[in-house]
């Protein structure tokens, strides 16, 4: 899988972020074991707790389309390099990680892609 394309899509969808309160735009694009890609951006609410993160928005689209195994997700914010998923999103990604694991792709200060493993970002994630 071309992680550069995944990151390009994450950048593109971050432009649609609805984040008038935090002014922190985020875009995410994931790829499933079937090679399908799904994008999502964060969208906030005047009732702040209702905010949905970009990652969970992308996961929701994948699930609604019948997908269950996520191989990788790229995350981008124009506001911050190394935009890692929040704790809640790490747990949601854990639910749908592919058997071989899930790569989390971020961009560093030099605009280089960095690949982290979800199991490193969420050691001992909760499973039933
Ligand atoms: N946000 C995400 O979209 N993903 C994350 O992993 C962290 C935070 C959003 C939520 C909120 O709209 C804004 O970033 C500031 O927290």
For the segment 33-75, what is each residue's pLDDT rounded down to a tens digit? 999 999 999 999 999 999 999 999 999 999 999 999 999 999 9
Q: Please report the pLDDT score of residue 92 as a whole number.
A: 98
Let me know: does 27 contact 54? Beta carbons within 8 Å: yes
Instruction: Please tell me if the CB atom of residue 30 comes closer than 6 angstroms to any atom of ligand 1.
Output: no
Let me know: does 14 contact 46? Beta carbons within 8 Å: no
**Which residue's alpha carbon is nearest to atom 6 within ligand 1?**
85
Instruction: Please tell me if the CB atom of residue 54 comes closer than 6 angstroms to any atom of ligand 1.
Output: yes
Alpha carbon separation from 64 to 30, 42, 49, 120 (Å, rounded) = 14, 17, 23, 27
Instruction: Please tell me if the CB atom of residue 59 comes closer than 6 angstroms to any atom of ligand 1.
Output: no
Let me know: does 39 contact 54? Beta carbons within 8 Å: no
Q: Is the model's pLDDT at 1 over the cut of 80?
A: no
Q: Is the model's pLDDT at 117 over the cut of 90?
A: yes
What mean pLDDT do residues 84-110 have?
97
Catalytic residues: 55
Ligand 1 mean position, distance from CA 20 (Å) = 12
Torsion of Cα atoms, 20 then 115 then 119 then 75, to 10°: 10
Closest atom of ligand 1 to 51 CA is 12
């Amino acid at each position: 899988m071309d992680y550069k394309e995944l990151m390009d899509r994450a950048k593109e969808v971050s432009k649609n972020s609805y984040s008038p309160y935090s002014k922190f735009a985020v875009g995410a694009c994931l790829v499933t074991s079937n090679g399908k890609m799904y994008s999502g951006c964060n969208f906030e609410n005047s009732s702040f707790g209702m905010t949905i993160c970009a990652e969970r928005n992308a996961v929701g689209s994948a699930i609604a389309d019948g997908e269950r195994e996520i191989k990788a997700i790229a995350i981008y914010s124009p506001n911050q390099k190394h935009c890692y998923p929040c704790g809640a999103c790490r747990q949601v990604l854990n639910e749908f990680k592919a058997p071989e694991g899930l790569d989390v792709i971020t961009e560093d200060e030099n605009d280089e892609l960095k690949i982290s493993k979800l199991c490193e970002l969420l050691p001992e994630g909760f499973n039933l």
